[in-house]
Amino acid sequence: MKVPLIAQERFCRQSAALITAGFSLPDVFAYLRVSTPKYRIVWERIEAELANGIAFSEAIAHQDLAPILFQQLQLAQIHGDLAKALTVAGDYLGLRVRNRQKMAQLLVYPCLLLVMLMVLQVVVVFGVLPALSLPRSELVAVQLGGVAVLIGLGAVIYLVWRHLTPLKRLLVLQKMPGMRQVLRMYYQFQFTSGAAQFLLAGADISDFCRHLATMEGPLGNLGNRIQEKVQRGQELTEALQEPFVPAEVARLLTMGQSQHLVAEGLKLFGEQLFFNLQRQLEKLVNLIQPLLFLLIGGEILLVYLQILLPLYQSLGGV
């Protein structure tokens, strides 16, 4: 059963609040079965796996929920702050939900215009021109061929994308305009918030990097690279010089401050990264509407050409 992002965000926030209030995990899922009965089967599956001794993160992964929720719960197994891990996951899922809602709002008007123009185009080509005994423009065949190619290309891209691993998807997205910086900021946020939680729980940054190495995906590869550098004799501050590790992390670790102050500094910096990530995503979302209006402009031009070209051809033949 597919759980939408907005329901996953609600799950994270409600669970974090209940755990903070002193509820146990069985009590949390008992509450969820009553508060969100639509996804009762999902909560029952998770609860059954927990009763069989399966880790919370693994039980979540088996339900095909958002990757960040699984990653944060994996980290929580080490640092122990389950409520904080759920809060971090809920904040990011909330950001994705808001961006999707904003994208839908931005798409409504231009998509409506585009559909109306396409209807007008069909009426002109298959109604008006034959009624006036005017020849059909060659642009119709070209446009239909272009639409067919785009649909076929989109279907192929979708099928290939579904079979890519998370790491290969990351490599593809990094080559797309505007996505490289967003992805880098996202993983920097994940690394910084996770490191802050580990330090606040009394562990050190080395423990955090060793745990990352046990994970899959880009963060797991990051942990392995850092571990390999340390094993070759590099200092940890040098080993942390990676694209997904903010330079401020290394600086904080070499300032000679207490572990608690470093953890608080990382926590504040993680919040700043999250704010920057939100702004960057909003910029990308805001680009969608202008691009659609360019498409609408092209469609208007095609409608005019499909009306005027047959008229010019008819006048030329007189």
Question: Do 80 and 193 share a domain, yes or no?
Answer: no
Residue 100 lies in a domain: no
Residue 197 lies in a domain: yes
Q: What pLDDT is recorded for position 17?
A: 92
Q: What pLDDT is recorded for position 315?
A: 64
User: What is the C-alpha separation between 268 and 140, in angstroms, rounded?
Assistant: 57
* Boundary-marking domain end, from 94, 113, 139: 94
- Residue pair 223/242 in contact (Cβ under 8 Å)? The answer is no
- Residue pair 184/171 in contact (Cβ under 8 Å)? The answer is no
**For residue 58, which amino acid is it?**
E
- Residue pair 87/13 in contact (Cβ under 8 Å)? The answer is yes
**For residue 238, which amino acid is it?**
E
Tokens for 292?
Answer: 């659609």
Residue with tokens 């550098």: 229
Tokens for 260?
Answer: 């608690």
Tokens for 276?
Answer: 């920057």
Q: What is the mean pLDDT of the chain?
A: 81
Residue 109 lies in a domain: no
- Residue pair 100/285 in contact (Cβ under 8 Å)? The answer is no
Question: Do 55 and 180 share a domain, yes or no?
Answer: no
Tell me whether residue 232 is exposed, middle or buried, using C-beta atoms within 10 angstroms of its C-beta: 0 to 12, 13 to 18, 19 or more: exposed
Count up the domains in the chain and report the number: 2
pLDDT digits 0-9 by tens, 244-259: 888 887 777 767 777 7
Residue 106 lies in a domain: no
Q: Name every residue whose Cβ is closer than 8 Å to that of residue 142 and which is 6 or more positions away in sequence.
A: none
**For residue 256, which amino acid is it?**
G
pTM of the model: 0.69
* Boundary-marking domain end, from 94, 112, 147: 94
Residue 237 lies in a domain: yes
- Residue pair 237/254 in contact (Cβ under 8 Å)? The answer is yes
Question: Do 66 and 173 share a domain, yes or no?
Answer: no
Task: Output DSSP code: residue 176.
Answer: S
Q: Name every residue whose Cβ is closer than 8 Å to that of residue 270 and which is 6 or more positions away in sequence.
A: 189, 192, 193, 196
Residue 318 — very low, low, confident or very high, per pLDDT cuts 50/70/90? very low
Question: Do 68 and 205 share a domain, yes or no?
Answer: no
Question: Do 70 and 189 share a domain, yes or no?
Answer: no
Reported as type and span, the H/E element at residue 67 is: helix 67-79
pLDDT digits 0-9 by tens, 59-82: 888 887 888 888 888 888 877 888
Question: Do 75 and 207 share a domain, yes or no?
Answer: no
Residue 209 lies in a domain: yes
Question: Do 198 and 308 share a domain, yes or no?
Answer: yes
* Boundary-marking domain end, from 61, 94, 127: 94
Q: What pLDDT is recorded for position 136?
A: 66
Question: Do 171 and 310 share a domain, yes or no?
Answer: yes
If you average pLDDT over residues 122-149, what whole number do you get? 71
Residue 188 lies in a domain: yes
pLDDT digits 0-9 by tens, 13-69: 999 999 999 888 888 888 888 888 899 898 989 888 888 888 888 888 888 788 888
The residue segments making up the domain with residue 51 are 5-94
User: What is the C-alpha separation between 142 and 74, in angstroms, rounded?
Assistant: 53
**For residue 35, which amino acid is it?**
S
User: What is the C-alpha separation between 14 and 89, in angstroms, rounded?
Assistant: 12
Question: Do 178 and 58 share a domain, yes or no?
Answer: no
User: What is the C-alpha separation between 262 and 265, in angstroms, rounded?
Assistant: 5
If you average pLDDT over residues 196-218, what whole number do you get? 79
Question: Do 71 and 180 share a domain, yes or no?
Answer: no
Residue 220 lies in a domain: yes
Task: Give the Cβ contact number of residue 51 at 10 Å.
Answer: 11
Phi/psi for 257 (5° steps) reads: -80, 165
Task: Output DSSP code: residue 287.
Answer: T
Question: Do 171 and 312 share a domain, yes or no?
Answer: yes
Question: Pick from 186, 220, 253: which is nearest to 75 by CA?
Answer: 220
Question: Pick from 271, 270, 274, 266: which is nearest to 199 by CA?
Answer: 266
Question: Do 60 and 175 share a domain, yes or no?
Answer: no
Tokens for 61?
Answer: 């992964």
